[in-house]
Structure 1
């Protein structure tokens, strides 16, 4: 397994080489617990959202304590799973598509990622990979607003995501002046993003009387 040194805070190879980056993953776990206990998501498709949110946090924690190619793949992989599953849920619960048709958003998202890849490659610090999710989030917020469905949480999440992506991108450029880096801000703000989009879907399903 290759050691991965990708962030400003990394001080060495040990478990505590990225203390703030590691501890800040607690934000994902807190968000997941709040979703589960406060909003009690139903049915299972939406109940999966806080579970996936917690797994995003745990995978990120594993990467920022054991930084290698396997934990890096888990970190990126669970984020991708959350994004894709959320888009499928949006198609089903917001747009009213059947589950089979809802899965068509996965290849649609792949096309979006491919089309925006040249622009994404211009964004430094590896943050370009999150351009497609940002554009997808803005799109679903607009779609929800146009359809007069609950959209404020989605719009707020898009705004927070812009800030969190900026914070992530500044990690290396600010390293000389801010040795702890800024990546922990990405974790904290992204926990807010995932909480908001999950809450939006859970609330919408409940208010629409579709348990």
Structure 2
């Protein structure tokens, strides 16, 4: 793999100059702003602090990808997203599902075969629209599954997960429409993926934070 090979995967990009994707680059501020807003609000909640830190890195990594458009920048973009998914899932398993550490860890690792199976199933579907973001669709589906488990025990968490799933499904729709609408909308729609995901990831941290505060011992 040549780390400096260039990638042209978005409608807005017309060449490989630094600012060929201005909207896709600048809208990564949504992740950074969300992280800066949340940071003082998660003081004392280690798991939430880790998530906010990763959220900030997501914004930086995605900015690098939409300016440099290289393989190494793509890795800087996707690796933090994967880390956020796994970290959030682990914290949910441990603190919301209240699984023991070993089960929370195994449940987190199980995301990899689960996502692979969902991606494979989508790729065999006749709907090409879903195939564009096939891997990512496993995440809102998982949020719906977890919401169903919390519907009685933690209704607020369940609603929070469903709202997050809805936001992510909407942002995935914009991500998938980018190339499809390119001829009609030259700026593309990928920038909406950034804006909505900044809100969505921030919201998911708020859901986790609220649960941790609500379950903290009184007088703490």
Whether the TM-score (by the shorter chain) exceeds 0.5 is yes
Counterpart among 114, 124, 132 of residue 126 in structure 1: 132
1:58 paired with 2:64, answer no
- Kindly indicate whether residue 43 of structure 2 is the aligned counterpart of residue 36 of structure 1: no
The match for 1:188 is: 195
Cross-structure match for 2:17: 14
4+ aligned runs moved over 3 Å, structure 1: 122-126
Q: Is the 8 A contact 2:30 2:195 kept in 1?
A: yes
The alignment's C-alpha RMSD in Å is: 1.6
Higher alpha-carbon Rg? 2
Counterpart in 2 of 1:104? 106
2:118 aligns with: 116
> Using a 3 Å threshold, how does the CA distance of structure 1 residues 12 and 4 change in structure 2: closer, same or farther?
same
Question: What is the DSSP-based 3-state SS (H/G/I as helix, E as strand, rest coil) of the residue aligned with 1:101?
Answer: helix
Selected match of 2:153 from 142, 147, 150: 147
Cα distance in 1, alignment partners of residues 120 and 47 from structure 2: 34
Distance 2:5 2:120 in 1: 28
TM-score (norm 2): 0.89
Contact 1:157-1:192 within 8 A present in 2 as well: no
In structure 1, the gaps of 5 or more residues are: none
Measured in 2, the distance between the counterparts of 1:120 and 1:83 equals 20
Question: Does the CA-based 8 Å contact 1:42-1:202 persist in structure 2?
Answer: no
| CA distances 1:37-61 after superposition (whole Å, capped 9, x unpaired) | 2x22433222101101111111100
Specify the alignment match of 1:5 in structure 2: 8
**Contact persistence 1:161–1:189 (CA under 8 A):** yes
Shift of residue 149, structure 1, vs aligned partner: 4.4
**How many equivalent residue pairs?**
210
- Unpaired segments ≥5 residues, structure 2: none
Q: Which has the higher contact order (CA 8 A, sep 6+)?
A: 1
| Partners of 2:204 and 2:43 in 1: CA distance | 13
How much does 1:126 deviate? 3.4
Provide TM-score, normalisation by structure 1: 0.93
Contact 1:154 1:196 in 2 (8 A): no
